[in-house]
Structure 1
Amino acid sequence: MSLQAKVLLPLHYGVKGETVVYIEADDPLAQVEGRAAEAGQRVVTLEPGQTFDASRD
């Protein structure tokens, strides 16, 4: 199954340490970038405070 999106915008990653609620996968951006490349999708990552206007993409 594919998301069929042109652009992926990862929002929840970079969690430091372990919690009982959420344990992050190893190198999540590399994983999503690899799978997106296979599907012909572009990944946009933002720094804190940056914005992305999907209507202009």
Structure 2
Amino acid sequence: MLPAAPYDLRKQEQHAPVVEGQPIIAVLARERQALDRANARVGRWSLFYDDLTTRYGARP
């Protein structure tokens, strides 16, 4: 039996809301935080997949 996939594997990261009158740099900073979260999720998925292929001998 395969182990459970990472809990947030299918989570979609939302764009940062744009608030009228807010400095653009603040929106950009929140977008970068969202990108960091998404990239971290991809990293966790990669580790999970690599572990599976090592344990079960699966090849892509």
Q: Determine if the TM-score, normalized by the shorter chain, exceeds 0.5.
A: no
The structure in which a higher percent of residues are strand is 1
The structure in which a higher percent of residues are helix is 2
Using the size of structure 1 for normalisation, the TM-score is 0.36
Using the size of structure 2 for normalisation, the TM-score is 0.35
